[in-house]
Amino acid sequence: MTIEEAQKIVDEWINTIGVRYFNELTNMALLTEEVGELARIIARKYGEQSFKESDKQHNLADEMADVLFVLICLANQTGVNLTEALKKNLDKKTNRDKERHKNNEKLMTKG
């Protein structure tokens, strides 16, 4: 599935099963909530925190998909073409960082 296809599929889902988009502020709050849930799983799986019994039911891939779904909702309702936005963003990063990271001693040492 391409990003463009994902935007269309989410839009179709929202307009058929979801009834309508939540407003942008609600979706921003939901995105923040979903990122927090993702952060919780990563902190427990890759960080120093231990899993609580209630954390064990959460799935890393599913939490990432929740973040992506809400981000796509926000893009759809604000008229952002994520494919084009990502292309432009990668071009910006490439031009800005093409030598920067290669010359970063911190990235050259294994830590």
Q: Over the stretch 92-110, which tens digit does the pLDDT of each residue have?
A: 999 998 888 888 888 887 6
- Count of CA atoms in the C-beta half-sphere (13 A) of 74: 15
DSSP state, residue 103: T
Tell whether 102 is covered by a domain.
no
Tell whether 109 is covered by a domain.
no
Q: Over the stretch 1-60, which tens digit does the pLDDT of each residue have?
A: 999 999 999 999 999 999 999 999 999 999 999 999 999 999 999 999 888 877 778 899
Instruction: Count the neighbouring beta carbons within 10 Å of the beta carbon of residue 82.
Output: 19
pLDDT of residue 111: 58
Tell whether 53 is covered by a domain.
yes
Q: Over the stretch 65-90, which tens digit does the pLDDT of each residue have?
A: 999 999 999 999 999 999 999 999 99
Domain count, the chain: 1
Q: What distance in Å separates the CA atoms of residue 47 and residue 17, rounded to the nearest whole number?
A: 37
The larger pLDDT score, comparing residue 111 to residue 26, is at 26
pLDDT of residue 89: 97
Tell whether 30 is covered by a domain.
yes
Contact present, 49 and 74 (Cβ < 8 Å): no
Tell whether 44 is covered by a domain.
yes
Q: What is the pTM of this model?
A: 0.87
Sign of CA dihedral 5, 7, 8, 9: positive
**CATH code assigned at 75:** 1.10.287.1080
Tell whether 20 is covered by a domain.
yes
Q: What distance in Å separates the CA atoms of residue 37 and residue 4, rounded to the nearest whole number?
A: 26
Domain that holds residue 41: 3-82
Tell whether 93 is covered by a domain.
no
pLDDT of residue 102: 82
Sign of CA dihedral 30, 33, 38, 41: negative
Tell whether 103 is covered by a domain.
no
Cα 89 to chain center, whole Å?
15
Q: What distance in Å separates the CA atoms of residue 73 and residue 10, rounded to the nearest whole number?
A: 7
pLDDT of residue 105: 84
